[in-house]
């Protein structure tokens, strides 16, 4: 007879403890040996806007969401890239960890070529959807 296992964490019946910061709301679960299990960070700016992000580790930061304002563009067009999950001030991120970057496609971009925007930092590397050059 096969046993059933509950969904979620594979480490059941394991002692965890939580950490909470006073400057921002940070919830983090750690194993008794101090190893990170999971967690999230809530930030709020002066306007009342909030973000909720996973606490970043090398294992959970690859491939985080990046949006672009267009997936088809001509050479010399301007493309706006937005991402979140950065620490405030990192890579010029705002106080909520949001980053916006605008660039112009170079005239050397080939027609029908496809391009991806890579954003990276000390803790993460994220990519945009594909941009196809139309002319």
pLDDT by residue (tens digit) across 12-28?
Answer: 778 888 776 556 788 88
Per-residue pLDDT of 38-76, as tens digits, reads 888 888 888 888 888 888 776 666 545 688 999 999 999
Give exposure, 2-17, as e/b (b: 16+ Cβ within 10 Å): eeeeeeeeeeeeeeee
3 compared with 64, residue with greater pLDDT: 64
d(CA 2, CA 78): 57
Sheet containing 114-115, strands listed edge to edge, beginning at the edge strand earlier in sequence: 72-73, 131-133, 114-115
Residue 55 in domain: yes
The total domain count for the chain is 1
Which pLDDT value is given to residue 129?
Answer: 80
The DSSP result for 46-88, as a single string, is: TT--EEEEEPP-TTT-TT--EEES-SEE-TT-EEEEEE--PPT
Residue 127 in domain: yes
Residue 8 in domain: no
Residue 3 in domain: no
Residue 83 in domain: yes
The answer to whether residue 5 scores a pLDDT higher than 50 is: no
Residue 46 in domain: yes
Residue 1 in domain: no
Contact between 117 and 68 under an 8 Å Cβ cutoff? The reply is yes
The answer to whether residue 97 scores a pLDDT higher than 70 is: yes
d(CA 56, CA 26): 12
Residue numbers of the domain that contains 119: 16-133
Residue 2 in domain: no
């Amino acid at each position: 007879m096969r046993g059933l296992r509950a969904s979620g964490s594979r480490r059941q019946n394991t002692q965890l403890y939580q950490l909470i910061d006073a400057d921002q709301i940070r919830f983090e679960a750690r194993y008794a040996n101090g190893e990170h299990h999971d967690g999230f960070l809530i930030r709020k700016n002066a306007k009342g806007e909030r973000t909720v992000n996973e606490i970043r580790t090398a294992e959970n930061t690859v491939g985080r969401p990046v949006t672009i304002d267009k997936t088809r563009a001509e050479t010399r067009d301007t493309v706006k890239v937005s991402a979140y999950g950065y620490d405030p001030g990192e890579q010029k991120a705002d106080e909520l960890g949001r980053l916006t970057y605008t660039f112009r496609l170079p005239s050397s971009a080939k027609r029908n070529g496809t391009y991806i925007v890579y954003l990276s930092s000390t803790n993460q590397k994220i990519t945009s959807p594909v941009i196809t050059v139309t002319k």
